[in-house]
Chain A
Amino acid sequence: MSDFLQASDIVKQFANHLALDRVNVQVPEGSIFGLLGPNGAGKTTLIRIINQITAPDQGSVIFLGRKMATRDIDQIGYLPEERGLYKKMKVGEQALYLVQLKGMTRIDGLKKLKYWFEKFEIQTWWDKKVEELSKGMQQKVQFIITVLHEPKLLIFDEPFTGFDPINTNLVKQEIIRLRDQGTTIIFSTHIMASVEELCDHIALINKGKTILNGPIDEVRNRFKPDSYEIRFRGEPEKLKSALNSHVILTEELTRGEIKHLVIKKNEQEPLRNLIATINEAVEIVSFDEMIPGMNDIFIRVVEETNRNQQN
């Protein structure tokens, strides 16, 4: 997979603070790329630089193998976190206007809008004023407008806020479908569950710096603590004494007749030996390697960098 978009050494200085400090991200073609970070980390600034809304003080954005040019914005669809529509304008007319601004012809725009309005079953909204729609309905219209001109790059900033579970699912499926068709997607959110579900790659930004970068499975494996959860029936003391060469991380928990214990494996010992040892001692119900969720990784990494900066 080649890099579809590459932002290198991006620096952006605002009056009182450094928003981006030599940030690097590589977005592979045809993937969903999660852009993560705590509030105020500089995500929106980076997205605005990619969208050419603001210009970086230093650094460059390489788009499709060359320096990004003004006309490339027609190849991007952007759904900002703070979004809105003209309240007094009719839905259809407004959608047509906004896609024309993205370089579509009127005829093409009309045709595609018809298709999407039918697909989302919202044809009846065409002549309604935007203010007559609910927040979630407006979001739906806005999603259509963003993807309608079939851009090569889509940028979604918190695309699911305001949607009910059914619509969230609908939009999620659309995002996956677009990815499968070859569209590259940058996806910024604070909901880590949806990151795990959707993203192929992630970059984590904190205080204007990239602190984590790579394919999501690789990142999660990197943080694999080599610990295991054992659910079992039998004597906890017997198990603990059998595992004396490993670090026992938690006291045993009892839920009904099944007990839990989390351990960190001794690095030298092969996994099968460990399982055999446990099997001798107690009756195993389940044995799981603990792979950290993005939520844990996020919190851990961000807190770590914050601590390092203070020292």
Chain B
Amino acid sequence: MSKISLIVKREYLTRVRKKSFLIMTILTPILMVALIFIPGYLATKEDNQEKIIAVLDKTNITEGTIPQTEYMKFEYIEDSDLETLKKNFGQSGYYAILYIPENVLVTSRVQLYSNQQTTMNVSSHISDALKNFFTQIKLKNENVPLDIMERIKTRIGVDTIQWTSSGEEKEGSAEIVSVIGYISGFLMYMFIFMFGAQVMRGVMEEKTSRIVEVIISSVKPFQLMMGKVIGIALVGLTQFIIWIALSFGLFYGAKGILLADNGKAATSITQNLMQPNQPGLNATVDANQFQKVFDDITTKFETVNFTLIIACFVFFFIGGYLLYASLYAAVGSAVDNETDTQQFMLPITIPVILGLLIMINAMQTPNSTISVVFSIIPLTSPIVMMARIPYGVPYWQLGLSALFLVLTFLGSIWMAGKIYRTGILMYGKKVNYAELWKWIRYKN
């Protein structure tokens, strides 16, 4: 086995075998999915406690309009007033008092009294029910027949259809495209920082533990640096591939589970997903409707060119990573401890953060001059380009961006190699940019 592959193997295995890697790789996608599902789940969970709400209706017309749910009961109180109800609230066992004033049609407000903070669930349930009821009342007052009312209920969905140069049309979704652009751009940003910093720490570990002199009496410093850079790149790619596999797995897995189980749990979760402000309203939303929504997302999802996105991500990750990781390696070799890194970190950090900011902008305007230019400039291109790719990027731009990136990372690796070779054997010296420049120009 060649020496560089031995180094790559060590760098890769020591990191992949760490518990923290395993935990992060598996937990991150699960955590992301959980972040979407858990609030909805908790909201339904909370309702398991039975709540009886006293209703004091001064209009005397709303009785029966607020639907009872399994855990939410409404009791209309005839012969009492707000003051007595409040006074006896402790013994009554009510969860809250709903007060509907006489002039509710004018003010559009009702009051919910309680000695504790009432949940969003309860207030939105009441609000939705009363909204429907009073809309009907108002329409009736305007002499609009009920059947017309039903027919004019309208919802407009926008189907975005994009045609390609070959004239083929495909249905897409602006939201899904921009979300995917954002996720891949942000992932790129995160990966460059995370794995770049790992390279730097690895170099510093070898320098401060003084093992470096032992190793470079066996291999060339450049081999050691590249072995480390490549090994950590493979760690990043491993993590990326596992994340992609897990995400698709979870997506289709969740779909399968939710569709197989037409029961209440599934619908209530999706309701929370689709309409987070109206949990538990139509407790009997049928699963078919849900399936339609889900299928809709799936088809739109499938119109996105994932092959292209993943291929580009891998390419731009490798390119951007090599560019930045070699700079990180140079910084790690030049300093003796972590605090000294700061003066050299700034020029590396600024373009990455700039890339992130322009990437966020590019999500809205993927073809503006600024987005196009910064997706070609090599220091920001990996991040900005990823946000543009889901929208479709002309091939010449993609090619130009790729070419510049390759040229730049070759240059930065060459430069970093020069700094690294001198830096790793230099101890106890405060290094500045002039010094680094001198190292770059050393012949040997």
Contact = CB atoms under 8 A, between A and B. Distances in A.
A98 B215 contact: yes
A82 interface: yes
A79 B217 CA distance: 9
Contacts of A80: 210, 213-214, 217
Contacts of B219: 101
Contact of A53 (B3, B213, B438): B213
B210 A51 contact: no
Nearest to B224: A101
A101 B8 CA distance: 12
Interface string A55-96: 101000000000000000110101110111111110000000
B211 A53 contact: no
Interface string A14-43: 010000000000000000000000000000
Nearest to B18: A88
A85 B218 contact: no
28 contacts: A48-B425, A52-B217, A53-B216, A53-B217, A53-B221, A54-B425, A73-B217, A73-B218, A74-B218, A78-B217, A79-B214, A80-B210, A80-B213, A80-B217, A82-B213, A83-B213, A83-B214, A84-B209, A84-B214, A86-B205, A86-B206, A88-B14, A98-B214, A101-B3, A101-B6, A101-B7, A101-B219, A145-B214
Please classify how large the interface on chain A is, using the bins under 10, 10 to 19, 20 to 34, 35 or more: 20 to 34
Given A54-B444, A85-B209, A98-B215, 7 more contacts: A54-B425, A78-B213, A78-B214, A80-B210, A83-B211, A100-B6, A142-B214
Interface in B130-149: none
Contacts of A86: 205-206, 209, 211
B14 A84 contact: no
A102 B218 contact: yes
B35 interface: no
Question: Of residues B6, B213, B425, which shows the largest number of chain A Cβ atoms within 10 Å of its Cβ?
Answer: B213
Given A98-B218, A101-B219, A55 B444 contact: yes
Interface in B1-20: 1, 3, 6-7, 10, 14
B339 to A, nearest CB: 20
Contacts of B444: 54-55, 57
A100 B438 CA distance: 34
Contacts of A117: none
B429 to A, nearest CB: 11
Given A97-B6, A100-B1, A101-B6, A76 B217 contact: yes
Interface string B426-444: 0100000000001000001
A73 B205 CA distance: 24
9 closest pairs, A vs B, by CB?
A84-B210, A55-B444, A84-B209, A101-B218, A78-B217, A80-B213, A82-B210, A51-B217, A84-B211
Interface string A97-115: 1101111000000000000
Interface of B: 1, 3, 6-7, 10, 14, 205-206, 209-211, 213-219, 221, 425, 427, 438, 444
Given A89-B14, A100-B6, A53 B214 contact: no
Contacts of B211: 83-86
A87 B218 CA distance: 19
Nearest to B13: A93
Most interface-central of A48, A54, A87 (chain B CB within 10 A): A54
A101 B219 CA distance: 7
Contact of B10 (A57, A73, A97): A97
A73 to B, nearest CB: 6
A54 B3 CA distance: 19
A87 B210 CA distance: 11
B5 to A, nearest CB: 10
Contact of B425 (A53, A55, A76): A53
Contacts of B215: 98, 101
B249 to A, nearest CB: 32
B379 to A, nearest CB: 30
Nearest to B435: A15
A57 B442 CA distance: 11
A215 to B, nearest CB: 28
Nearest to A79: B214
Contacts of B205: 86
Contacts of A57: 444
A15 B444 CA distance: 12
Given A73-B218, A101-B215, A83 B210 contact: yes
Contacts of A54: 425, 444
B322 to A, nearest CB: 23
Contacts of A145: 214
Contacts of A52: 217
A15 B218 contact: no
